[in-house]
Structure 1
Amino acid sequence: MTLKGMVTGMRNVLGRHIGKLFYDKGISFDAANSPYFPPMVSAIQRAELGIKPPMTYELSGPILDEEVDEVKKWTEEYKQSWSRTNITLMSDGWLNKVSKNEFFNFLIYSPKGTAFLSSKDVSRIKKDANFLVRLYDQIVEEVGDKHIV
């Protein structure tokens, strides 16, 4: 068998194993477009023989904790950039068709990227002009009016 044939065969084996995980757990095929997917595959390829995959408790415990810490660090760096770049406050609303709950989501846009800020359940609230002014005032106070353009 040629080297090209061996590589093609190994790629097929890898694809089949990845596919089985996706099919078994109902993972969206779009997950393969995640920027985290190729580095994961590369890390697996570099792993030494005998290295076992993480257990459920590791994924839901220490590994998750490390990711939370990384996101918090990124968020702090993101907030520090606001004074230099300013931000745009964005919002949208949506209705959960099953529970009938209504939500407003708030996002921050800056040259560093877009980040989710918060979500408010507004299901049992009269959504008039006074309510919207109070809601936006809370969000502006939270991020600081001097940063918003």
Structure 2
Amino acid sequence: MTEGAVDDTPGLLHRAPILVRWRDLDAFNHVNNSSYLTYLEEARLQWLRHVPGWYDENAVPVLAASSLNYRAPIAWPAELAVELYCERLGNSSLTIAHRIVDVADRHRLYSDGNVVLVWMNPHDGKPVPLPAGIRKAGERALAD
């Protein structure tokens, strides 16, 4: 578990606080659907910053797939938490389940789904094994 994680939540990789910005809103005063993807990206980057060896010039993560279910609109002002869970570890890929919830009430679910990250060699575009730090973090989360 890394900084931002909640100790009593099994399988959690990271819990990232996100403040809704005025510019995230659409014409109906709700967070625009594209902003949800930005929140997820921010949460993944917050998590990765705390994983030793997640990146080097010969092994970089690439977003291979994303699935996002909109469960409830988010109105401004709002304080959110993006929860990341390890769903699956492959040889070169990691599937991260995610939930966007109210920071004060984890049961108020705005969105859920998952993303698949594949680590690849940027020079030839071929998959490479997951970095040791990523594998260790994923295995620890799956063991919870």
Query: If each structure's strand is expressed as a fraction of its own residues, which one has the higher value?
Result: 2
Query: If each structure's helix is expressed as a fraction of its own residues, which one has the higher value?
Result: 1
TM-score, length basis structure 2: 0.26
Larger Rg: 1
TM-score, length basis structure 1: 0.26
